[in-house]
Amino acid sequence: MSVKLLLGDEAFAQGVLDAGVSGCYAYPGTPSTEIMEYFQASQEAALRNVHRSWSCNEKVAMEEALGMSFAGKRAVVCMKHVGLNVAADGFVNAAITGTNGGLLVAAADDPSMHSSQNEQDSRFYAQFAMIPCLEPASQQEAYDMAAYAFELSEKQEIPVLLRFTTRLSHSRANVQLREKKPENTLRLPENARRFVLLPAIARQNYSKLCDKQAVFAASSENSPWNLYYEGTDKSLGIVCTGLAFNYVQEAFAGKCPYPILKISQYPLPKEKLKKLIQDCKQIMVVEEGMPFVEQQLRGPLGNSRILGRLSGVLPRIGELNPRIIREAFKLTLPETPAAAELLRNRPPRLCDGCPHSNTYDALNEACKDFPGSKVFGDIGCYTLGALPPYNAISTCVDMGASISMAKGAADAGLQAAIAVIGDSTFTHSGMTGLLDAVWENSPITILIVDNDTTGMTGGQDSLGSGRLDDICKGIGVAPEHLRVIIPLPKNLAGNVEVLKEEIAYRGLSVVIARRECIQTLRKKK
Amino acid sequence: MKSDIVLAGVGGQGILTIAAIIGQAAVSQGIQVKQSEVHGMAQRGGSVVAHLRLSSAPVKSDLIELGTAHVVLGMEPMEALRQLPYLSAKGVLLANTTPIRNIGDYPELELILGELRKFPRTAVMDADEMAKTAGSPRAANMVLLGAISNFLELPAGLLTDAIRKMFARKGEEIVQANLKAFDAGRTLTANL
């Protein structure tokens, strides 16, 4: 079996492929994107015709994967942490229906918010949905856990959540590949009625799910991923979850005097935890992300024996790193050259030649005629329009919020309310907001910045490609207030005029600013 | 064998290419690798950094501890300076002198280079100019790859093979230009 140098995301994708998956479903989102991209680049996935096209959003992806599971085959659905908010309805209810073919949900969290609007921790979602959760500590575990998770899923007829974090998703390491398993054949569930969540059936299912909790707990207790390492100094015991285990090992150079409980499968392994807590005076909880385990151990009254992010020994927010761990354990710190005062921040910016920059130039110019106007932004490269030199947008909250927030503000009497949304974000979650605005003929202007790709995550397919005008018309936008502009410097004056006309119109209008992303254009050359 | 390398640059400068070539070469030698990268928003012209760790024993942390890196390699002078706190006292600093001034308040270049030169084991080079001379203005990252090759316990032939493979589809001329760029960097740091 060969060794490959793989990102955490890729290792998981290869593991899933080798475990006989039949379909991967996803919407791009940092740091999860590379899972699907690995499938799309894989010759083997192509030969087997494993499903590997992007879905229009995470909820759709989740339901498609559940459908494949219903049909008896193994499926995986991948998203970034906030994508799980979008998929939550299907996700939580898939735990109630249960699964048929194995179903894995991979959610990649982004502590420190490198490319995200919050640092929510997906382990809470697994607990909420009452399903098992696996949190790989290494790329090899990400690979090995795929087959393990499918077996757990099929044995317990339950979706399994795999929680990734940025530093694992986007770090490469040697990964040893193992034996391949064949795909499942089409096999419908023996009791298909359990997929009908009418209250009478749902109540039965929910009761069964509650009964399964003891089985999940036993699985965690005996899990090969939850390991107890003895130590000689019992003044302190350490709980490490996922990736945090690596930092602790590194800090102590493999010679940690304290007992360590490494946790990579949830629900929490109660007996192992009990042993650590009974054996040791104090407990340090080291976890990447929110204080999920620490909070449970501290309890509502705050047990002072439990140290970690909540006690203040570790920072409350942000990702871990080797220095933070050394400081928490009061280990000697290597001397470091001081950071130079000369340094200036270098935030990301729109690329030279980016169509969005021309669009923002036109929008800023047009808005000068509408002093009370506000521009509601959305998620994508164009969010960078919030920064100088554009300072063009006032909000960025979640996928699709530009349109719905502009409508709400217009409902409140704001004049003029303008939404800026990318083509991929529009088909992800903007179309439903547009229908609301059409229904009420809200006096808002929606500027769809159509660069024909999902740009921020690296240029994935945009499912509305070539049919945005038809989608808008089909939803009910009046053809005379559906305008298309080409954002180029030479068109500035004309584009400003079009925008002014539509912003002045006291009804719903859509302006599509259409020019291909400069990055995808370059790649084609 | 243990080598911790911090690679710094601006999104789009090709530090991930350098990391990938070294990483692949190491794996082919049975060396353990961890290579932490930046994907996503910062790649749009912001500061980017990659941590590359090579070792004959399994590597634990994906990130390098401050003050312990054997090499800090900067594709851009201010970005090299930004990552200096990672360098160990005996470490090697390799930096390109060509600035990317995509921010309004870029400091005076000579001041930055002065800070970089304060370090005992430093090689600063105009990698962009050296790449041009070699025949490919886009090969500045290959100059830096050549510069770092003297500090890796890897046969240089593995790296040049990787360069050949990577640029093969672009034609022999581009391959040769990239190999020349590599050699120029390698020669420059041979006695550092």
User: Does the distance separating the beta carbons of B78 and A343 come in below 8 Å?
Assistant: yes
Residue A342 in any domain: the answer is no
Q: Which tens digit of pLDDT belongs to each residue from A85-100?
A: 999 999 999 999 999 9
**pLDDT score recorded for residue B40:** 74
Q: How big is chain B by its Cα radius of gyration, in Å?
A: 16
By residue range, what is the domain housing residue A247?
227-334
Query: Does A414 lie in the same domain as A284?
Result: no
- Among A261-275, A422-436, B29-43, the range scoring the smallest mean pLDDT is B29-43
* Residues in chain A closer than 8 A to B102 (CB atoms): 346, 349
Q: How far is CA A341 from CA A484, B91, B115, in A?
A: 48, 21, 10
What is residue A284's DSSP assignment?
E
Provide φ and ψ at A455, rounded to 5°: -75, -50
Q: Which tens digit of pLDDT belongs to each residue from A159-175?
A: 999 999 999 999 999 99
Query: Does A464 lie in the same domain as A371?
Result: yes
User: Does the distance separating the beta carbons of A173 and B32 come in below 8 Å?
Assistant: yes
* Cα angle, residue B47 at apex, residues B43 and B51 outer, rounded to 5°: 90
Number of other residues whose CB lies within 10 A of the CB of residue B100: 19
Number of other residues whose CB lies within 10 A of the CB of residue B190: 11
- Is residue A1 over pLDDT 90? no
Residue A195 tokens read as 């997929």
Provide the chain A residues 135-174 that lie in CB contact (below 8 A) with chain B. 167-168, 170-174
Q: Which of A299, A334, A369 is the last residue of a domain?
A: A334
Provide φ and ψ at B5, rounded to 5°: -125, 130
Domain count, chain A: 3
Minimal Cβ distance to B46: which of A33, A250, A347 = A347
Domains and CATH numbers, chain B: 2-97+111-188 (3.40.920.10)
User: Does the distance separating the beta carbons of B40 and A30 come in below 8 Å?
Assistant: yes
Q: Which residues of A5-17 are buried (b: 16+ CB within 10 A; e: fewer)?
A: bbbbbbbbbbbbb
For residue A163, list its beta bridge partners.
Answer: A107
Residue A294 in any domain: the answer is yes
**pLDDT score recorded for residue A338:** 79
Q: Which tens digit of pLDDT belongs to each residue from A379-421?
A: 999 999 999 999 999 999 999 999 999 999 999 999 999 999 9
Q: Which phi-psi region, left, alpha or beta, contains residue A390 (left: φ > 0; alpha: ψ -120 to 50)?
A: alpha
Residue A346 in any domain: the answer is no
- Is residue A339 over pLDDT 80? no
Minimal Cβ distance to B107: which of A167, A339, A344 = A344
Q: Which tens digit of pLDDT belongs to each residue from A190-220?
A: 999 999 999 999 999 999 999 999 999 999 9
Residue A218 in any domain: the answer is no
| pTM higher than the cut 0.95 | yes
Looking at residue A511, its amino acid is V
Chain B residue with minimum CA distance to A249: B60
Query: Does A267 lie in the same domain as A193?
Result: no
Minimal Cβ distance to A384: which of B10, B44, B82 = B44
**pLDDT score recorded for residue A178:** 96
H helices present in B34-171, as ranges: 77-82, 109-117, 127-134, 140-149, 156-167
Query: Does A143 lie in the same domain as A74?
Result: yes
- The C-alpha atoms of residue B84 and residue B73 are separated, in whole angstroms, by 9
Query: Does A235 lie in the same domain as A188?
Result: no
User: Does the distance separating the beta carbons of A114 and B62 come in below 8 Å?
Assistant: no
Cα atoms in the 13 Å half-sphere on the side-chain side of B128 = 10
Sheet with A23-26: strands ordered across:
A23-26, A75-80, A103-109, A160-165, A133-134, A265-266
**pLDDT score recorded for residue A195:** 98
Residue A196 in any domain: the answer is yes
Query: Does A203 lie in the same domain as A115?
Result: yes
Does residue A258 sit in helix, strand or coil?
coil
Query: Does A476 lie in the same domain as A405?
Result: yes
Q: Residues A334-341: what's their mean pLDDT?
A: 83
- The C-alpha atoms of residue A306 and residue A237 are separated, in whole angstroms, by 10
Number of other residues whose CB lies within 10 A of the CB of residue A502: 23
Q: Which of A145, A178, A211 is the last residue of a domain?
A: A211
User: Does the distance separating the beta carbons of B67 and A247 come in below 8 Å?
Assistant: no
| CATH code of the domain in which A10 resides | 3.40.50.970
**pLDDT score recorded for residue B42:** 72
CB of A340 within 8 Å of a chain B CB? The answer is yes
**pLDDT score recorded for residue B163:** 94
Residue A256 in any domain: the answer is yes
Query: Does A471 lie in the same domain as A516?
Result: yes
- Is residue B110 over pLDDT 90? yes
How far off is chain B from A115, nearest CA to CA, in Å?
A: 5
**pLDDT score recorded for residue A525:** 75
| CATH code of the domain in which A252 resides | 3.40.50.920
* Residues in chain A closer than 8 A to B170 (CB atoms): none
How far off is chain A from B168, nearest CA to CA, in Å?
A: 16
Q: How far is CA A299 from CA A279, A290, A302, B52, B55, in A?
A: 19, 15, 6, 40, 42
Q: How confident is the model at residue A176 (pLDDT cuts 50, 70, 90)?
A: very high
Minimal Cβ distance to A115: which of B34, B40, B61 = B40
Q: How far is CA A94 from CA A51, A62, A76, in A?
A: 20, 9, 13
Please tell me whether the peptide bond between A267 and the residue prior to it is cis, using omega within 30 degrees of 0: yes
Sheet with B2-10: strands ordered across:
A3-7, A171-176, B32-36, B47-55, B2-10, B69-74, B87-96, B122-125
Q: Label each residue of A369-438 as H, E or C.
A: CCCCCEEECCCCHHHHHHCCCCCCCCECCCCCHHHHHHHHHHHCCCCCEEEEEEHHHHHHHHHHHHHHHH
Minimal Cβ distance to A323: which of B33, B65, B112 = B65
Dihedral sign computed on CA atoms, order B101, B103, B108, B109: negative
Q: How confident is the model at residue A337 (pLDDT cuts 50, 70, 90)?
A: confident
Dihedral sign computed on CA atoms, order A306, A310, A314, A318: positive
**pLDDT score recorded for residue B57:** 95
Q: Which tens digit of pLDDT belongs to each residue from A51-60?
A: 999 999 999 9
Dihedral sign computed on CA atoms, order B112, B113, B117, B123: positive
* Residues in chain A closer than 8 A to B24 (CB atoms): 5
**ipTM of the complex as predicted:** 0.95
Q: Tell the residue number behind the tokens 């939404």, with chain if given.
A: A419
How far off is chain A from B161, nearest CA to CA, in Å?
A: 17
* Residues in chain A closer than 8 A to B10 (CB atoms): 346
User: Does the distance separating the beta carbons of A323 and B39 come in below 8 Å?
Assistant: no
According to DSSP, the β-strands at B87-96 and B69-74 are parallel
How far off is chain B from A35, nearest CA to CA, in Å?
A: 13
Residue A432 in any domain: the answer is yes
Query: Does A276 lie in the same domain as A371?
Result: no
User: Does the distance separating the beta carbons of B84 and A246 come in below 8 Å?
Assistant: no
Cα atoms in the 13 Å half-sphere on the side-chain side of A127 = 10
Query: Does A234 lie in the same domain as A206?
Result: no
Looking at residue B138, its amino acid is R
Query: Does A176 lie in the same domain as A298?
Result: no
